[in-house]
Amino acid sequence: MSETLERPVAERAAKAPARQKAEDWFSRFEAALAAKDAQAAAALFATESYWRDLVSFTWNLKTVEGPEGVREMLEAQLPHIAASNFQLDEEPSEDGGVVTAWFSFETDQGRGRGLLRLKDGKAWTFLTTLHELKGFEEPMNERRPKGAEHGVHADRQTWAERREAEARNLGYSEQPYVLVIGGGQGGIALSARLRQLGVPTIVIDRHERPGDQWRKRYKSLCLHDPVWYDHLPYIDFPKNWPVFAPKDKIGDWLEMYAKVMELNYWGSTTAKSARYDEAKGEWTVVVDRNGEEVTLRPKQLVLATGMSGKANWPSFPGMDRFRGEQQHSSDHPGPDAYKDKRVVVIGSNNSAHDICAALAEVGADVTMVQRSTTHIVRSESLMEHGLGDLYSERALANGVTTQKADLIFASLPYRIMHEFQIPIYQKIAEVDADFYRDLEKAGFRLDWGADGSGLFMKYLRRGSGYYIDVGASQMIIDGRIKLKAGQVDEITETGVKLDDGTELPADLIVYATGYGSMNGWAADLISQEVADKVGKVWGLGSDTPKDPGPWEGEQRNMWKPTQQEALWFHGGNLHQSRHYSLYLALQLKARMEGLETPVYGLQEVHHLK
């Protein structure tokens, strides 16, 4: 054997086994894609395997399962998608027989990043994400704009003059390509992404200022997720930012962010109606802007009204005869006006606990009505055992940035995510056994999710049914917050009557009864027909309480195309608003530029509400 032939063999032998396994897999995979051989590519996936694609191959958010799912997707997409140049981004690792490999790749239209896990030489989990579009990269780092225009220019416009002209014209003499309805963290994050991509966008909100969605809630409201989990795109929170940010700090941050990111934000603006013209491929949206009726004609409409935005008012007999005050938790102003008052809070999840705690602190006589079991997890335990490896100072010290953590989290398929969550909550149950025993002694009815998988799966499946404890649980244990389990039979003139005959006298009733599906906003704004065409928003189809099957594999209708052309839904917590805003923005940008966007696996409709 000649020296030139011996060298590659020696180099291969010297490589770490994990790298060799990953490179061999990618070599075979890329060859199959180049040959447009879907069957050969599918043969590289294990019998139990999951390919989660965020836009790069499917122009959708889609998880396919097993070799057959991979084959079907690739047969549909390979005529349209050319993927190549798969490169390892860092040294692969191997632990417990699983090889983990970070990689980058290209398609004909964009560049992507991903994470591969191999078992016995075959793909077990495979994440592919579109990171940027070729020719439409964000003006960042070496592509950042100069800002100042050196030299002599007649009729020079300053930055302020250009911004003023844009704000004056957009929505009037010029139309936005995207209209985002809802100016909370979701709408703001998406609008920031779209601005960097050069997509003319207006975001509207009924509140006067960005951040008012937080400022105007009950005064004890704060983030229950830690700061490392909650950054917005482009600008991280300062390093001295509190771990759990109070609502007013979040409100001020959102207002600052909207200004610094130069968003076209219309406050004090309410959308009155919307109609899609299929022939023109555009929406007609009538809005009230500070008393002025304005008609907007965007090509794309995004409802970023929040998965916790459509208040779910219950319908109990007798509500119309109650002599006191009634509020939904979303309208509760805080405790100050209710000192020494009798308050009944119906509900036992996050908002109910926060409101009860604040009322008890000012001296109100407050009773929580628990109608169904609730999952409780102490904030400290959640940080230590649930989030610490991904979102914490410890994670950062180990090289796990927020962006890397987002991709790790995204790489775990929803189908098996509960298997990774169950041991976390078993550990928490063991560590906090005394805490849970005391809660049950106080009469609180606990659960750990339908399969013991705890908070994250409850959130992903139904968006409710839990409380991250930041102090209210101890107040229940101590009796400062009274607790009554049961169903509401009726509302009387003076209080709440339960199904066991107990009547709880009240001056104020707060209905902490949650929120409805986001397609309720579509029904209000567009039509019930469109809302039914889209179907239920949120949930995985896990066939657990409040998340009916069949299995979807992704969040229903979120951040991806829907059955209604040019209508999108965006939102979730700060983490989801940050992470998924990228993929939604890239989908919108591609359509603006006329790129081919063949969608695989368009969301089917199984449930209307």
The reply to whether 437 falls in a domain is yes
The domain that contains 33 carries what CATH number? 3.10.450.50
Q: Give the amino acid at 559.
A: W
Read off the tokens for 70: 């991979």
3-state secondary structure at position 374: strand
How far apart are alpha carbons 480 and 361 in whole angstroms? 9
Phi, psi of 213 (to 5 degrees): -60, -30
Phi, psi of 402 (to 5 degrees): -60, -45
The reply to whether 146 falls in a domain is no
Of 82, 113, 133, at which residue does a domain stop?
133
What are the mean pLDDT values of the chain's consecutive 10-residue runs (609 residues total)?
40 72 98 98 98 98 98 97 97 96 98 98 98 95 80 76 93 98 96 98 97 85 88 96 93 97 98 97 98 98 81 93 95 92 96 95 97 95 92 94 96 96 97 98 96 95 92 96 97 97 97 87 95 95 95 96 98 94 98 98 92
330 shares its domain with 376: yes
The reply to whether 454 falls in a domain is yes
How far apart are alpha carbons 254 and 578 in whole angstroms? 13
* CB burial string 134-172: b at 16+ within 10 A, e below: eebebeeeeeeeeeeeeeeeeeeeeeeeeeeeeeeebbe
Element holding 26 (H helix, E strand): helix 17-34
pTM: predicted TM-score of the whole model, two decimal places: 0.93
DSSP string, 566-580: TEEE---SHHHHHHH
Read off the tokens for 552: 């979807």
- Within 10 Å of residue 10's Cβ, how many Cβ atoms? 9
448 shares its domain with 415: yes
∠ CA 215-308-248, nearest 5°, is 15
How far apart are alpha carbons 212 and 136 in whole angstroms? 33
How far apart are alpha carbons 497 and 487 in whole angstroms? 9
81 shares its domain with 129: yes
Read off the tokens for 105: 């790749």
The reply to whether 154 falls in a domain is no
DSSP string, 248-259: HHHHHHHHHHHH
280 shares its domain with 376: no
381 shares its domain with 477: yes
The reply to whether 197 falls in a domain is yes
Q: Give the amino acid at 198.
A: G
| DSSP for residue 195 | H
384 shares its domain with 348: yes
Contact yes or no for 277/283 (Cβ under 8 A): yes
∠ CA 555-558-563, nearest 5°, is 105
- Within 10 Å of residue 363's Cβ, how many Cβ atoms? 12
Strands, sheet with 201-204, edge to edge from the N-terminal-most edge strand: 265-266, 201-204, 178-181, 300-303, 567-569
277 shares its domain with 330: no
Read off the tokens for 147: 């800002």
Domain of residue 481 covers: 325-511
103 shares its domain with 215: no
Comparing CA positions, the residue from 45, 90, 108 lying closest to residue 598 is 108
Comparing CA positions, the residue from 351, 488, 376, 484 lying closest to residue 439 is 376
Question: What's the pLDDT at 145?
Answer: 84
87 shares its domain with 176: no
The reply to whether 99 falls in a domain is yes
Of 118, 133, 148, at which residue does a domain stop?
133
Contact yes or no for 224/468 (Cβ under 8 A): yes
Question: What's the pLDDT at 7?
Answer: 42
Read off the tokens for 367: 């009773």
Looking at the structure of the chain, the number of domains it has is 3
Which residues are paired to 157 by β-bridges? none
295 shares its domain with 335: no
DSSP string, 540-600: ----BTTB-SS--SS-TTSSS--SSTTEEE---SHHHHHHHHHHHHHHHHHHHTT-----S
Hey, what long-range contacts does 293-299 have (CB within 8 A, 24 or more apart)? 294/171, 294/172, 296/171, 296/175, 296/176, 296/179, 296/202, 297/175, 298/175, 298/176, 298/177, 298/178, 298/179, 298/202, 299/177, 299/178, 299/566, 299/591, 299/592
The reply to whether 148 falls in a domain is no
How far apart are alpha carbons 489 and 496 in whole angstroms? 8
| DSSP for residue 494 | S
332 shares its domain with 236: no
| DSSP for residue 284 | E
- Burial of residue 221 (number of CB atoms within 10 Å: 0-12, 13-18, 19+): buried
The reply to whether 143 falls in a domain is no
For 501, residues 6+ apart whose C-beta sits below 8 A from its C-beta are 489
278 shares its domain with 224: yes
Contact yes or no for 184/251 (Cβ under 8 A): no
The domain that contains 348 carries what CATH number? 3.50.50.60
